Amino acid sequence: MGTDIARKIGLIVAIIVVLSQPTFALLDTEPEIFFGPAFTSLDKDVEVGFGFGGGMKIDMLPFAGGTIQFCGGLMPVFAVDSTDGFTMTQAHIPLTVVIAFLERPLNDDRLGLGGSIGFGIMNTLGRYSPSAVDMRPCFTIDLTFGIFERGALMFRYTAVVGDKTSTDGRALSYQSLLVVGSTTW
Q: Domain with 159 in it: what CATH number?
A: 2.40.160.20
Question: Burial, 2: exposed, middle or buried (Cβ in 10 Å; 0-12, 13-18, 19+)?
Answer: middle
What percentage of the chain reaches a pLDDT higher than 70?
76
Say if residues 88 and 6 touch (Cβ distance below 8 Å): yes
Q: What is the mean pLDDT of the chain?
A: 79
Q: What is the DSSP letter of 24?
A: G
* Domain span including residue 37: 2-183
The span from the first CA to the last CA of the chain, in angstroms, equals 35
What percentage of the chain reaches a pLDDT higher than 90?
25
Average pLDDT over residues 28-42: 87
Rounded Cα–Cα distance for residues 145 and 148 (Å): 10
Tally the domains of the chain. Answer: 1
Phi, then psi, of 2 in degrees rounded to 5: -65, -40
Single pTM value for the model: 0.78
